[in-house]
Amino acid sequence: MTVPQPTTETRWRCTLCGNLTRFDVTRSSKVVEYVHLDLAGVPNVEETEVVSETIDSVRCRWCNAVDQIELVDRPGAGS
């Protein structure tokens, strides 16, 4: 089950303890990177383009609840 990502008008909230600020997020990403190798062969990523990204799970840091996260309105988002 994927978790919806917060927007400019919403944020995450743990339904068990009410936490709004501390979460462990597991993501799956597909990216395209431009890698520049120096003459010694040491790589340096100069550009990264995120092709797709999915949030797999969100765990509350306060109570350790998994998959108990909901989206709630941010304060003042409707103003």
Domain housing 14 = 8-71
Say if residue 71's pLDDT is above 80.
yes
pLDDT for 19-61, tens place per residue?
Answer: 999 999 999 999 999 999 999 999 999 999 999 999 989 999 9
SS3 of the chain: the string is: CCCCCCCCCEEEEECCCCCCCCEEEEEEEEEEEEEEECCCCCEEEEEEEEEEEEEEEEEECCCCCECCEEEEECCCCCC
Domain count, the chain: 1
Tell me: the pLDDT tens digits for 3-12?
A: 788 999 999 9
How far apart, in whole angstroms, are the C-alpha atoms of residue 55 and residue 29?
9
For residue 32, being part of any structural domain is answered with yes
Is 13 domain-assigned? yes
Q: What is the pLDDT of residue 78?
A: 63
Q: What is the pLDDT of residue 60?
A: 96
In-domain check, residue 2 = no
